[in-house]
Amino acid sequence: MKKLLVLSLAVVMVVAFTLPASAFESVFGGYWRTRAFHQENFIGDDDLGDTGVTRVDTRTRLYYTAILNDNLKLVNKFEWNNVWGDTVGGDHGADGTGILRIKQSYVDANIGPVRAKIGQHDVLYARGFIYADEFSGATLSMKFGDVLVPFTWMKDSEGGTNNNSDDVDNFGLYPVFNFGDDFTLNPFAIYAYSSDGGAALSTFGQNFTALPALQDGLSVYWVGANVDATVGSFNLWGTAIYQGGTVDTATVGLDDYDVKAFLVAAGASVPLGPASLHGQAFYATGDDDPTDDDFEAFFGIGGGGAGWAYYWSEIMGLGMFDNQFSVGSPNGDVSNIWAVNLGATIKPMEKLSLTADVWYAALVEDSIPIQVVSAGANDETDLGIEIDLKASYQLTEGLNMTLVGAYLFSDDATSVDGNNEDDPYEIGTQLSLSF
C-alpha cells in the first residue's frame, strides 16, 4: 500500500511537470497545522487507569488540481501526519515513511448539463449527523435555476469479486432550494443496502458491534431536511432526520431488527456589536431495550472517526484535538444523547477573538450498545456540564494561533462503573495556516 501511495503521488507530479505548460493550468494549495495538548481523566476515574495524554503532532495537506479546460479538471489532495517523537517521521532524522495518504483523487467534469465528480471525494449529509468525510464513488449534479440537485453513489464496502452479496452501497439525493438570500431548504433521502453484508455492518457505526449475529443484509434509509434562514439579525439553522428500515440476521431464533430512530437539532447566532451569541441543541434517540427486535438508537454511516462525525464540545464531542473523548459519551457519533449549548464570541481587537461555550449533555437511555462499546455502560444518564474556552490570534498574515482550555464537571454517566471520581480536562494550542 505504501508503495502504491508513493507511486501515485510520483505519477501526478511527473504529469504536472512534463506536459506542455500550455496544455493545462496547475493550481496548488494546502493546509498545515501543529498542535500541542494535554488531556487528563477522560475515563472518569484515575484509579482505573492512566488515560492522560500529552502530545505534539503535525498534519500537512497538499492540494494539486490540473485544470485541463473549462469543463474538466483532475483534483488530488494528499496528507501526511506525524506525532513528534514517533518512528514514522517524528524521530531523529525525521525521514517519514508509511504516512502518506491520498485523501481525494477525482475527475470533476461538466458533461452537458451534468457536473460529475468521479473517484475519491467528499460529501456532507445532514451537517455530519449522517456523514461528513471522503469516500469512493460518484456525485452527479444538475442545476435548475436556483435549485441544485446532487445525487451521490457511495461504495461503503466491497465484498470481493467472488462475493458480491457482501457489497454495501449507499445512495443519496439531496437537492438544495434557495429562496432568495435568506432561506435555504435542503431535503434529503439516503438509502443503504446490502443483500448479505454482515461482514461490513461495522461501517454503519459502533452501534452494530454490540448486536449479536448480524450476518445477513440490511436495508436502511434516512429522510429529512436541513433548513438555514436569516430572520432580522438572527442566523437560524435546523435539521430533522427520521431513520427506518431493517437489519437482517442469519441466526436461527433471532428476529430481524426493525430500525426506528430519529434526530433533531437546531441552532442560532446573533451579532451584538463587537460580540456575538450562539447556541444549539440536539436530540438523538437511544434504544430502550437492546434485547428486543426494535433498534431505536440513531446511527449514521461509518463512525469511530471515519464518516459519521458531528464535532461539538471539546471533551464530550471530540473538539479541536479529536484525540479521545470522555467515557460514556458517543463523541462525534451522535446517538442516544441530548445536549444544549450557549456561547459567546467577542473580538476585542482585529486579530484576536475570544470564545466561551457551556454545554450540558445527558444520555437518552441509560444503557445501549454504543455505550457498551465505549466502556461506559451503567445505570446513569447525566454526562455533566462542560466549559470550553478558546482564544484565536493572527500571529502574522496567514499564520494563526489558537489556545484551548476545557473542563467537564462530570456526572456519573461519565464513568465505567457509574461512580465518577475525577473530572476530565484538557489544555492545548494549535498553529495553523492554509494557502
Q: Which CATH architecture has domain 24-434?
A: Beta Barrel (2.40)
What is the pTM assigned to this prediction?
0.88
The pLDDT assigned to 89 comes to: 76
Cβ-based neighbour number of residue 413 at 10 Å: 28
Q: How far is CA 327 from CA 5, 246, 331, 373, in A?
A: 35, 29, 9, 10
Query: Residue 250 corresponds to which amino acid?
Result: A
Residue 218: which pLDDT band, with cuts at 50, 70 and 90? confident
Query: How do the domains of the chain map onto residue ranges?
Result: 24-434
Q: Is the pLDDT of residue 206 over 70?
A: no
Q: Which helix (H) or strand (E) holds 12?
A: helix 2-18
pLDDT above 70 covers what percent of the chain? 82
Per the rule left: phi > 0, alpha: psi between -120 and 50, beta: everything else, 239 is beta
Q: Is the pLDDT of residue 369 over 80?
A: no
Residue 434: which pLDDT band, with cuts at 50, 70 and 90? very high
pLDDT digits (tens, 9 = 90+) for 401-414: 999 999 999 998 88
Grid cell, residue 153, equals 453513489
Grid cell, residue 72, equals 474538466
